[in-house]
């Protein structure tokens, strides 16, 4: 469903009457996202951010035909929010909370797969198809339609890369924050087939970080699928200490697993371009895609 999203896609916001829910629902609407409603346990509010508020997802879907949701729920309430959305028939769920309990995240993943839905998160700034739709809180100044798909663990570093690529006239076809939690819905390897099949995408930018094996797994799939489109990778966390979580819960290095050297080596062996700095990544993309600048 990710690649088929558009400005017509009907989206709701769970927790829309909270400060974050109201703020980001309004910002998503201002960007052009078709926010059709939201949910809240508050009984004194029937409207927020210019859209109707419903007591639960079932009522919201029945009234609006929403097919996607952005869950502005805290970590301990995210599991219940996802279960409610799935029960209402929602097929795309973005959860922004960081630090979802591990067992809850495992249960969420199992339930989403059983429902044939897609889960982006946890600990994600969201996703966007620039010029069409934004789900979450990616900064508008970084979003520009263009030929490069971005997938990222690090929100802040991806904002920097996206902004600087946009300044070079190279915007994004798709932008997906996979999130920094150790258990998540969509991983880098899952997105490669989506990007390869997307006609808008000429190249892929991967913004990773130390910890886990997600970049190594991506390298395996990239090589197996034939490296159909160029992949440009930047791995954050060069100074990370072994056994210490650096920022995200998933950014944890043990021994040789999840190190910068391991990730960079596997990606290079698979045919990807790997960079030590964002400056080098931007310069190479600007050179390789000069013919596609706008």
What DSSP element (H or E) covers 83? Answer: helix 75-87
Q: Map residue 262 onto helix, strand or coil.
A: helix
Picking from 27, 25, 65, the residue whose alpha carbon sits closest to that of residue 45 is 25
Burial of 244 per CB tally in 10 Å (0-12, 13-18, 19+): exposed
Cis preceding linkage at 122, omega within 30: yes
Closest CA to 249 of 176, 190, 181, 150: 181
Question: In this structure, are residues 8 and 31 in contact, taking their beta carbons and an 8 Å threshold?
Answer: no
Instruction: Tell me if 215 sits within 8 A of 186, measured CB to CB.
Output: no
Q: Which of 24, 79, 103, 248 is catalytic?
A: 248
| Strand duo 51-54 + 68-71: pairing | unpaired
d(C-alpha 167, C-alpha 159), whole Å: 12
The tokens describing 246, both together, are 């650096």
- In which residue are the tokens 């799939």 written? 221
Q: Is 248 a catalytic residue?
A: yes
Backbone torsions φ then ψ of 29, nearest 5 degrees: -60, -40
Query: Which residues participate in catalysis according to the annotation?
Result: 248
């Amino acid at each position: 469903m990710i690649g088929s999203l558009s400005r017509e896609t009907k989206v709701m916001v769970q927790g829309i009457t909270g400060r974050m829910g109201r703020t980001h629902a309004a910002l998503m609407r201002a960007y052009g996202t078709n926010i059709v409603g939201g949910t809240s346990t508050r009984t004194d509010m029937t409207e927020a951010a210019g859209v109707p508020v419903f007591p639960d997802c079932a009522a919201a879907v029945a009234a609006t035909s929403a097919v996607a949701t952005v869950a502005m729920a805290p970590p301990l309430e995210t599991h219940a929010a996802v279960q409610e959305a799935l029960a209402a028939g929602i097929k795309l769920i973005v959860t922004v909370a960081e630090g979802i309990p591990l067992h809850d995240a495992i249960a969420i993943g199992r339930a989403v797969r059983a429902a044939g839905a897609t889960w982006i998160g946890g600990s994600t700034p969201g996703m966007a198809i620039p010029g069409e739709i934004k789900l979450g809180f990616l900064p508008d100044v970084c979003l520009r339609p263009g030929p490069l798909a971005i997938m990222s663990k690090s929100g802040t570093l991806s904002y920097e890369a996206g902004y600087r690529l946009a300044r070079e006239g190279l915007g994004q076809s798709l932008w997906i924050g996979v999130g920094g939690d150790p258990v998540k819905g969509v991983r880098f390897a899952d997105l490669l087939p989506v990007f390869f099949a997307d006609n808008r995408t000429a190249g892929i930018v991967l913004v990773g970080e130390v910890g886990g094996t997600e970049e190594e797994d991506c390298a395996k799939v990239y090589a197996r699928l034939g490296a159909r489109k160029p992949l440009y990778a930047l791995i954050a966390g060069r100074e990370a200490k072994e056994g210490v979580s650096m920022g995200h819960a998933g950014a944890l290095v043990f021994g040789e697993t999840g190190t910068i050297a391991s990730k960079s080596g596997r990606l290079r062996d698979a045919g990807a371009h790997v960079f030590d700095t964002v400056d080098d990544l931007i310069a190479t993309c600007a050179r390789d895609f000069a013919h596609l600048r706008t």
